Amino acid sequence: MATAQEKATPNNLSNNPTASNSSAVPSSWAHPAADPFRNRPPVSALMSAVDSFPDPPPKTTSTTKGIPVMMRAQTCHPLDPLSAAEISVAVATVRAAGATPEVRDSMRFVEVVLVEPDKQVIALADAYFFPPFQPSLLPRTKGGPVIPSKLPPRKARLVVYNKRSNETSIWIVELREVHAATRGGHHRGKVISSKVIPNVQPPMDAVEYAECEAVVKDFPPFREAMKRRGIDDMDLVMVDAWCVGYHSETDAPSRRLAKPLIFCRTESDCPMENGYARPVEGIYILVDMQNMEILEFEDRKLIPLPPADPLRNYTSGETRGGVDRSDVKPLQIIQPEGPSFRVNGHFIQWQKWNFRIGFTPREGLVIYSVAYIDGSRGRRPVAHRLSFVEMVVPYGDPNDPHYRKNAFDAGEDGLGKNAHSLKKGCDCLGYVKYFDAHFTNFTGGVETIENCVCLHEEDHGILWKHQDWRTGLAEVRRSRRLTVSFICTVANYEYGFFWHFYQASCIHVFVDGKIEAEVKLTGILSLGALQPGETRKYGTTIAPGLYAPVHQHFFVARMDMAVDCKPGEAFNQVVEVDVKVEQPGENNVHNNAFYAEEKLLKSELEAMRDCNPLSARHWIVRNTRTVNRTGQLTGYKLVPGSNCLPLAGSEAKFLRRAAFLKHNLWVTPYVPDEMQPGGEFPNQNPRVGEGLATWVQKNRPLEEADIVLWYVFGVTHIPRLEDWPVMPVERIGFLLMPHGFFNCSPAVDVPPSASDLDDKDNGISAKPIQNGVIAKL
């Protein structure tokens, strides 16, 4: 098997900032804050608006099918993640805009992300500026509109916390404007807007966690409490600064608060020791994270530390005085001719699939512009944007401190900011393509996670097989899938997020074509200590003096669908399918009849739905104006996997912030700023039902719309002895499967072209293509 270095040259996600441009930007290019997508101007209007740019047009033009095309190279696709340079520009621009030195010094940068442009701008980029050129994405208008010579400037959105004033603000910075010299000197950004968001607390940062640990360990009463437990060496102590959540008015966001959990190692000379094996209970601490002060401290109950468990560590056998097992021989995954995918920047092509990848500090991996090249039918969109937007982990133990463990790992911490560098241990085998990711740190510097995203192919067993028992002849096809993934660590737990794309072929009417979303859970359980001889009803005793509380993990996938819809079209709807048992009678004389019944979900309140495995319930996103060869509407269906709902009572405090957990499926029409199901700032959020549960109260129509699916799925974890010291991977997820989507008649399927990518490309550096040059269409 190839080493990580041999597998691929890491593909840095950074790109140079686009060339500076001092022209004014028409308001029609701006990313609207709240208007529904279907009410925005058509592409033709956007094209006309560009003609008002004061820049003179370039001299060189070409004509493609009667459309004059102004050619100028574009260095960044509108959906490319911000580069390290762009993040630096955005931070410098905001810091320079501070009114006083004190304000500038107290700025803490929680998040810097790309402002994703309007879908029609993305379509324009894909049609004329970035290969493979796809002019069919845009409608044709009379008079042959002039395609603009440049795309609108890229913008960054910054969440800034002021450590002095305890205020949170949101800034929008235009990255292509060359601004005048200011306090920060020359920089290439321009502040478009800024506003203070009252009564919120932004996500916590790793810098704050480290400072909180240092403050707690230096606090004399804490040191005395640890001495009573036999601990003098503070280097053994681990302090995990959990957010306080919201349980009462004392947790209100007027103060930035944390209630740490304490753990303790046994050996100072063993940096790989599992410190979570010894929780320290009975100590209550409240920390002011703004000023890094201990607000409240109480040693409530002296609970002895659990004894050192010989099974506590998870490192290799040699590090624990033993050996690893040797009865398994090496298993190698090799691709001597390289992989079958191609990569051009962030654009991925594999078989007949193509899509773009992005990455944000909050969501981690984002999949954009998923489409399938379907023979003579050309490019067929499936989804505009796929990502995991939130996850919540509520615990079922009513005892302190476990009752307040209700982590919002995306909204309070950030899945992307906690992602792994796979240089430290790759979870993928075979020929791998890596992508780096860039983030701002709390003080405004730029940090890079190398090898953050993993792209590779996997053999997935048998796709189908049949043997004719009369002739003995058999046919079999293997399944292959393309996997894009990343893994993050949030305190004790690891989460792997995967999107799998499966082969889809219309040849001989054999089709797979599904997309699978999968989450893999592993890592270390969050534990509690027991008194000698004590057991707990709300958990599993896994070692002497040690138990693991029951808990649940919930994930929210947001899927901005576009089944057979070009940008600007809103021709999707959602139907719910249940299997019904026919009533005994004339239509069911043998009492064996059952059938599938469809129900159109006409509005948002009607579309709050739950899974029902007894009726094989699933949901289909259909295009209302496109049919397949049998005359049925084309669609993709969401097939649930194993799932659950919250087991907490309806009055549980964490459900104030997580009302979206009350149903497995929600459906909304696309609105740009409706992104986080629990609101953008769930940390210490006192507002009931903010986010998804509030949006759907508008009860907007869904019979023909630009559809967004919100699928909530989870697992109830009753810990086992086998989950210690490290929990074996548990997998949960769901499928997006074609439902009448493919026109599978061999008569209309065409041989693959060079862009279908069925050849054995090395997948590392696609052949260079000159941006801005329109290929033959």
Handedness of CA 306, 312, 313, 314 (dihedral sign): negative
One DSSP character per residue, 241-304 reads --B---SSGGG-TTS-EE--EEEE-S-TT-TTS-GGGSEE-SEEEEEETTTTEEEEEEE----P
Instruction: Return the number of other C-beta atoms located less than 10 Å from residue 490's C-beta.
Output: 19
Residue with tokens 């006192």: 686
Q: Return the structure tokens found at 639.
A: 């097939």
Q: Mark whether 468 is an active-site residue.
A: no
Give the separation between CA 107 and CA 169, rounded to whole angstroms. 10
Instruction: Return the number of other C-beta atoms located less than 10 Å from residue 509's C-beta.
Output: 11
Q: Edge-to-edge, what's the strand order for the sheet holding 107-114?
A: 107-114, 155-162, 167-174, 190-197
H helices then E strands: how many in the chain? 9, 34
Q: Count Cα atoms within 13 angstroms, Cβ side, for 419.
A: 32
CA distances, 751 to each of 168, 226, 373, 455, 475 (Å): 56, 72, 12, 27, 22
Return the closest-CA partner of residue 520 out of 542, 545, 553. 553
One DSSP character per residue, 638-668 reads EEE-S-----S-TT-THHHH-GGGG-SEEEE
* Inter-residue contact 156 to 172 (CB < 8 Å): yes
**β-strands 353-360, 528-529: how paired?**
unpaired
Return the closest-CA partner of residue 182 out of 53, 92, 96. 96
Residue with tokens 């004590």: 534
Return the closest-CA partner of residue 541 out of 723, 344, 407, 341. 723
Instruction: Return the number of other C-beta atoms located less than 10 Å from residue 316's C-beta.
Output: 11
Counting Cβ atoms within 10 Å, is residue 45 exposed (0-12), middle (13-18) or buried (19+)? middle
Give the separation between CA 190 and CA 34, rounded to whole angstroms. 23
Give the separation between CA 716 and CA 636, rounded to whole angstroms. 28
Q: Mark whether 276 is an active-site residue.
A: no
Query: Which of 161, 395, 431, 493 is the catalytic position?
Result: 493
Query: Which of 397, 409, 512, 564 is the catalytic position?
Result: 409
Query: Could you give the 3-state DSSP secondary structure of residue 16?
Result: coil
* Inter-residue contact 251 to 244 (CB < 8 Å): yes
Question: Which residues are tagged catalytic?
Answer: 409, 493
